[in-house]
Chains A and B, each alone.
Chain A
């Protein structure tokens, strides 16, 4: 029965142009691979690069000759690019993309680490930790934007969350009440976002920026007036404990990174899975996507468009707020003025780089977290590559993603457009 439609379709298919997105991406990867194999390979000393499984230089390690590795992985990148360029494996596009990026990064690492060592556990752990708020922030963005509301206010939700966690966490002397208050802090911004965007139809991008400034001003003011003078009463929240999961935590490398860490990591991982499956497989997900893509169609089948959007924006606020708790309850242990310093915008970048999907956003956040961690590592080993280059990476990657080089990036069709009935 279905074959009939497929045949019908064949007649109307537009002939495919040669320069598809896959081919363009492939060409870029080939160029990157040539750069990696040529430049990194030429610059890399022919010494052993050691990726140690423990914290120090001794002990078990993965070893590779730096120069050899740089050239080898450069060639792998070229291979991935060439396969994309040949257009022979359309089903494997995503895998090839991942492989290309991974090989390029490895080539770079072989060059940098040649003659030195890189502690793998520490790097992975640090990357995940730096990625943690980005993951939660990007998930909040996924919830809002898949239902059709642009959320540029993630930064503000982080700040309010971080502030709420520090203030209430200290006063209640409980890390869990602190986490809860962080979520509420994010919710406050989300309520403003939802009401102003949907009831008063304020432009959502402008609104998001204004809300960020509001959060910055408000927390900054309260910090100076309240927290700074009485830090012991208002700004010494308890730190989040580490939960060790018996058994799993003993797996080498993966164990200490994923299963011997703070509860916020577990929360983030669970949320990625839940939201991902929820969007694809549940009634809530179907309706959320419908409202974000074609609200008028959703309305004609009796779905409450605004109600659905409100629910998602508020839920997103809770999650982003919880992400803000990272800064005060996990990372530093006290609130500071503008302490999120743009992490919300990187979360937004992760959302776009991850193509508005929870899993994509998760990997994008991890990638950005890794870039951040690598920047610290490189400056520690005295690399000639300025760390600013790596800190620039999230934005650069997002620009490339938006330009459409990494597969098809398409925002939900009704993203940012208010729904007005009639």
Chain B
């Protein structure tokens, strides 16, 4: 990093950007390697060391006390006090400091406002002011635009330019190519915890996309050609909002047919999560229709959706997929605990549950010491196999796998991929969502690319990956060829 430079760290979610920055800020400890500040190695054990070294950070999840005023949040930890040991807060000075910084850098904010009453964009300003009042030389912005509207984003970029002019260095973490090109002086691309390249902002988006998504040889998934039949899942004009009420899925039309795998490619955060959750009944639908084998599914509960013949592997298995403290056997019947033969809604039948669990463990090659082990003690790959085993144990019409192999070892990846293809071959409609382009290309019979809540193209898996990478970055320029649906 050089003074007055904006350095963009580009990479997909889970690539290790945030981890790297948390290490810099002393929240996590490095296992090996060293950090140099002004040429000298420094040990950053706590955030206090980081602040002392002139490093400030705006976290992806704001580190503001919601019930405090702006001024209280800004001074917290670096309070100016009078009266020695009494530690009397100098509140007038705190307010002046906030106003000083906010006028100097165009970060308008009322020092007496309560933070929780402020919109997200303003809260972010408070975070930046907080860092600036600590005289930082290096400011880390971790996915700062993820929570902002386009207008707020433009304002933020303007603020960053002002800071740069003032000689501050900025590390700008993002996965949005447009912003990087608009503001960065230098770009480092990170993938799977490694620096895979540096680029200047003159690099074309297509080069950057390729770097970000990677050129490695795709994991080969052996599969016979698909034999798709009639449509099972039909989505029309679907609109879904995210937690903050922003439009996450913005008019999606999709059809998944029996006996085919539809893969959804896209940089994470472009509406895939919300799309899948809406299908599962986990998230309210604002507008549009979802039908499963002709039956309308909008407004049905997740249980209804599962019972209608949908299998679901959620993207975050530890939060949504498993109860970590429960045993493997119990996790295997989370969906059917109240149904014969495992129970009758009143009591469970442990012997049936155990017998079925042993069978599944053998069939899906789950490596566990016993069916009674807590599922949290298993490796990521085996946990994922437990979920896949559970979901594929019911007769399905539609199987949805979201990030099916995230954090899973190579051996398990292969196994899970085989299971997915097997499910397709017995005539189930399969929807695979993955931010790993290789995985989508390997599994899918058709690929839908999502960008900003829309399906911007449906392409064949034979499409060159660079082209798909461009689509993931929202660039459809090439020609109508890639926009056309590839129908069998």
Contact = CB atoms under 8 A, between A and B. Distances in A.
B77 A294 contact: no
A4 B46 contact: no
B453 to A, nearest CB: 22
B110 A5 contact: yes
Interface in A281-295: 281-287, 289-290, 293-294
Contact of B122 (A8, A293, A303): A8
Given A286-B72, A293-B68, A294-B63, A301 B77 contact: yes
Interface in B260-307: none
Nearest to B61: A296
Contact of B102 (A1, A282, A289): A1
B109 A298 contact: no
A301 B57 CA distance: 10
A282 B66 contact: no
A297 B127 CA distance: 11
A294 B117 CA distance: 16
Contacts of B91: 281
Contacts of B373: none
A298 B76 contact: yes
A1 B110 contact: yes
B117 A9 contact: yes
Given A282-B87, A287-B76, A1 B108 contact: yes
A286 B79 contact: yes
B113 interface: yes
Contacts, number: 100
Contacts of B78: 301-302
B68 A290 contact: yes
Given A9-B118, A302-B51, A296 B63 contact: yes
Contacts of A294: 63-66
B221 interface: no
B220 interface: no
Interface footprint category on B: 35 or more
B47 A302 contact: yes
Nearest to A302: B48
A9 B122 CA distance: 10
A34 interface: no
A290 B77 CA distance: 10
Contact of B99 (A1, A289, A293, A421): A1
A286 B77 CA distance: 9
A224 B102 CA distance: 67
A289 B72 CA distance: 11
A283 B82 CA distance: 10
B119 interface: yes
Among B78, B87, B117, the most chain A Cβ lie within 10 Å of the Cβ of: B87
Contacts of A6: 110, 113
B415 interface: no
Contacts of B27: 299-300, 421-422
A12 interface: yes
A303 B65 CA distance: 13
A8 B87 contact: no
A150 B316 CA distance: 32
Contact of A2 (B48, B62, B68, B112): B112
B59 interface: yes
Interface string A1-29: 11011101100100000000000000000
Interface in A234-293: 281-287, 289-290, 293
Contacts of A296: 63
B182 interface: no
A56 B117 CA distance: 56
Contacts of A8: 119, 122
A296 B103 CA distance: 28
A297 B130 CA distance: 12
A2 B111 contact: yes
Interface string B200-222: 00000000000000000000000
Contacts of B89: 281-283, 285-286
A106 interface: no
Interface in B77-109: 77-79, 81, 86-89, 91, 99, 102-103, 108-109
Given A294-B65, A296-B63, A2 B110 contact: yes
Interface in A376-414: 413
Contact of A293 (B65, B79, B118, B119): B65
B28 A422 contact: yes
Contacts of A282: 81, 86-89
A4 B103 CA distance: 12
Given A1-B99, A300-B25, A293 B66 contact: yes
A283 B63 contact: no
B410 interface: no
Nearest to B52: A302
Nearest to B59: A300
Nearest to B78: A301
A296 B72 CA distance: 16
B146 interface: no
B312 to A, nearest CB: 30
B67 interface: yes
A421 B67 CA distance: 22
B63 A300 contact: yes
A5 B65 contact: no
A5 B78 CA distance: 25
A5 B114 CA distance: 11
Contacts of A298: 65, 76-77
Interface string A294-334: 10111111110000000000000000000000000000000
A7 B148 CA distance: 19
Contacts of A4: 108, 110
Given A5-B110, A302-B51, A290 B119 contact: no
Given A282-B89, A300-B25, A413-B67, A5 B76 contact: no
Nearest to A421: B27
Contact of A1 (B46, B51, B103): B103
Contacts of A290: 65, 68, 76
Contacts of A281: 88-89, 91
Contacts of A302: 46-48, 51, 77-78
Given A298-B77, A300-B57, A413-B66, A5 B122 contact: yes
Contacts of A303: 76-77
Interface in B24-57: 25, 27-28, 46-48, 51, 57
B126 to A, nearest CB: 10
A404 B78 CA distance: 35
Interface in A347-362: none
Nearest to B87: A283
- The residue in A12, A302, A303 that gathers the most chain B C-beta atoms within 10 A of its C-beta is A302
Contacts of B72: 286
A301 B48 CA distance: 7
Contacts of A12: 119
A300 B112 CA distance: 22
B109 A5 contact: yes
B390 to A, nearest CB: 30
Interface in B339-365: none
Contacts of B67: 289, 293, 413
Contacts of A293: 65-68
A9 B88 contact: no
Contacts of A283: 79, 81, 87-89
A421 B25 CA distance: 13
A285 B46 CA distance: 23
A284 B79 CA distance: 10
B78 to A, nearest CB: 7
Nearest to A414: B65
Interface of A: 1-2, 4-6, 8-9, 12, 281-287, 289-290, 293-294, 296-303, 413, 421-422
Given A297-B63, A297-B64, 8 more contacts: A8-B122, A286-B75, A293-B66, A294-B65, A302-B48, A302-B78, A303-B76, A413-B66
8 contacts: A1-B110, A2-B113, A282-B86, A289-B68, A293-B67, A297-B63, A297-B64, A301-B51
